[in-house]
Structures are given as C-alpha cells and as structure tokens.
Amino acid sequence: MPRPNPEDIQRIALLGTGTIGSGWAVHYLAQGKSLTIYDPAPDAEERLGAFVEAAWPKMERLGLSPSADRNAFRFAASAAGAVHDAEFVQESAPENLAAKIDLYRQIDDALPPQTVVASSTSGLFISDMQEGRAGANRYVVGHPFNPPHIMPLVEVVGGRQTDAEVIDWTLAFYRAHGKQAIQIRKEVAGHLANRLQVALLREAVHAVAEGIASVQDVDAAVVHALGLRWALIGPHLTIHLAGGPGGMRHHLEHLGPSIEEWWDNLGTPHLNSQVNEKLIEGMEAATAGRPVEDLANERDNLLVELIQTLKKARGES
Ligand SMILES: NC(=O)c1ccc[n+]([C@@H]2O[C@H](COP(=O)([O-])OP(=O)(O)OC[C@H]3O[C@@H](n4cnc5c(N)ncnc54)[C@H](O)[C@@H]3O)[C@@H](O)[C@H]2O)c1
C-alpha cells in the first residue's frame, strides 16, 4: 500500500481529547498540522480550547513550526466524520478494549485505505484491537507519555497483523514531528517504559512499607541521583560507565554477582490499605497541601526548561 511521506502529513484526526488526546492536539497544532477531532463529551470542545490556550506559551518556548496555528482544529459529529479525510489517526479514547473495538468498527468504512491508525493505549494489545478490521495491517500502538506535548518519547508496537512497513512508517512519522520514537518488538503488558517505571515503583513502595525511608526521601533518592543521570543516559550506559575503562564487560564481571544478590533481595510489596495509607500520608507530608495542578504546572515548566537546556547542550537547537 503506497503511503504518503511521513514528513508530508498535514491532516490528522484525533479520537478522544481527554488527558492524553488534548496533549496530542497541542503537539500536532504546534507542529503546524490541521486537526479533525471526535470526542462525544458535551464539553470536549470547550475543554480543549482552554487546554490549548494554557499550554501554548510552553510550546512557544519549546519551538513552534512556522505554520503552527493554535486554532487549526475542528470537531466532527462522528468518528467517521473525523477520519474520512485524515492522513493519520491518533486514537486516545478511554482504556477499554470493547469500547476501542467499537470505535474502530465505526471508522472502518470512512478511513482512507492508506491511513495509519495509532492507539495511545497504555495497556491493551493492538492485536486484540485490529482483529476483524478493514486494513487491520495499518493499526499500531503509538504510546506517548504524559504530558504528550512535552514528553518526547513515543513507543511504537505492532500487533499480529501489523505490517512491518507500517511500523517503520509510524516510527518515521513521529520522528519527523519532533518525537523520540522507539520500537517495542513484542507485545507485553505495559509496553516498555511503564514496566521500567513500575519495577522501580515496586522497590520504592517496599522501602516505605518496610520503614526503610520516608516517601519524601525515596523521591529525593531518585530526583537527586538516579533521575538526574537518567535524563542524560539510560541504565545500560550507566553500567557501562560505572565499569571504568573496562566498561560494561568489567562491571558485569566485577559486580554482576552483587547485582544478582540485590535482585534476589528486592521487595514484593502489596498495595493493601495499611501500605496505601503510609504512602498517602507520606505524600501529604511531602507536598504540604500544594494542589496537584500547581505541582503539575511546576513539573511541566521545569520539563520545558530541561528539554531546552539539553537540546542546546547537544547542539540540537
Ligand atoms: N493518562 C495517562 O497518563 C496516559 C498516558 C499514556 C497513554 N494513555 C492512554 O491514552 C488513552 C486515553 O487516556 P486518558 O488518560 O486521556 O483518558 P481520559 O479519560 O482523560 O480521556 C478519554 C477521552 O475520550 C473521550 N471518549 C469517550 N468515548 C469516546 C469515543 N467513543 N470516541 C472518542 N472519544 C471518546 C472522553 O470523552 C474523554 O475526553 C488510554 O488508552 C490510555 O491508556 C494514558
């Protein structure tokens, strides 16, 4: 199936503009795309308008495409109406397999045959969603991170019936539009980055549950050491550098047995009411009554600063 050049895509359809779909909308508008949107919530259009207005100054700081227009979106009355002219579809409807399958059924007849459909799903398999669809081979996962207009990573995962060519096209599409896209080569629960996240969260919860450290101090250990480094290099390169001139080979030979011993010693906590209360109380103490919106806004502003600083330091801007 001949597809348009990924970098030439202009018309994008969004299905769902909640937390994630709104972020996608801001991202694509900042990239100069025009959007057709379907979201059945009665206040969806009003909510999105307010979200775009609030987010736009951050996009101005991150860098807008010359053709960026914050008003270049319109809502359609149906999912079919939103996709019929689209060159790419990003679906961010609620995380419910039956509902997503039903939504895909609604767009079957209207979808242009060459149009790729990417689902933002965090936990569902595209294999289960593409089954029985017209052109099942062009359905793929394009999983972003919250907030999608700021976080660069997108995980691309194909299903049983997805063409390899569609995976390559989708990776190229996201990369041509300012994203760091990676391919996840097997369908696994939670894709990749969230699995890494919950692996760490397991030990973070264990540390609080067992009284090893407070919620605030566990977070400080990540913010002031691990996370600071992880914004620059990943866990594998970290190990390589920790090995000195002998690199990863030396580190694995020297400290591999200790790492395995620590793995065997990691906790397997349960989120029962007692542990949950410890976590909630610890978080209340750590945030000292600051509202979530306030904390999220501060995080987003700092993320923009960090991304700009890193781009500049790497000579990318
Ligand atoms: N929240 C996150 O941190 C996060 C991160 C990455 C991916 N995701 C994924 O993104 C998707 C959306 O999650 P969210 O957090 O934005 O949910 P949300 O509840 O905030 O938003 C869902 C939106 O979909 C709309 N909707 C309901 N039925 C619909 C339909 N039939 N067609 C189109 N839109 C419909 C709702 O009105 C709502 O605006 C999920 O698949 C989720 O797994 C979420």
Phi, psi of 74 (to 5 degrees): -140, 150
Separation of alpha carbons 104 and 219, rounded Å: 40
Tell me how far the alpha carbon of residue 93 lies from the centroid of ligand 1, in angstroms: 4
Residue 145 CA to ligand 1 center (angstroms) comes to 13
CB-defined site of ligand 1, < 6 Å: 15-21, 38-41, 44, 79, 92-95, 103, 120-122, 143-144, 146
> Looking at residue 239, what is its pLDDT?
96
The pLDDT of residue 74 is 98
Taking CA atoms only, the protein residue closest to ligand 1 atom 11 is 92
Nearest-atom number in ligand 1 for the CA of 106 is 31
Q: Provide the pairing of β-strand 153-158 with 139-143.
A: antiparallel
Residue type, 272: N
Question: For position 2, what pLDDT does the model report?
Answer: 87
Residues pairing with 141 in the sheet: 119, 157
Is the model's pLDDT at 159 over the cut of 80?
yes
**Angle ∠(201,157,166) on CA atoms, nearest 5:** 160
What is the residue with the minimal CA distance to atom 30 of ligand 1?
93
Atom of ligand 1 nearest to the CA of 100: 31
Longest CA pairwise span in the chain (Å): 63
The atom number, within ligand 1, closest to the CA of 102 reads 31
The preferred substitution site among 14, 15, 19, 27 for testing ligand 1, maximizing ligand atoms within 8 Å of CB, is: 19
CA–CA distance, 240 with 100 (Å, rounded to integer): 42
Whether the CA torsion 46, 48, 54, 59 is positive or negative: it is: negative
CA 96–ligand 1 middle distance (angstroms): 9
pLDDT in tens, 46-84: 999 999 999 999 999 999 999 999 999 999 999 999 999
CA atoms within 13 A on the CB side of 155: 22
Does the pLDDT at position 317 exceed 80? Answer: no
The CA distance from 296 to 294, in Å, is 6
For 291-301, letters b (16+ CB in 10 Å) and e give: eeeeeeeeebe
Rounded mean pLDDT of 122-134?
95
- Report the length, in residues, of the chain: 317
pLDDT in tens, 204-225: 999 999 999 999 999 999 999 9
pLDDT band at 1 (very low <50, low <70, confident <90, very high): confident
How far apart are the two ends of the chain, measured CA to CA in Å? 36
Tens digit of each residue's pLDDT (9 = 90 or more) over 90-100:
999 999 999 99
Ligand 1 pocket: which of 43, 92, 153 to mutate (most atoms <8 Å of CB)?
A: 92
Read off the pTM: 0.96
Instruction: Determine contact, residues 118/140, Cβ cutoff 8 Å.
Output: yes
Question: For the chain, what is the mean pLDDT?
Answer: 97
Judged against a pLDDT cut of 90, whether residue 316 lies above it is answered with: no
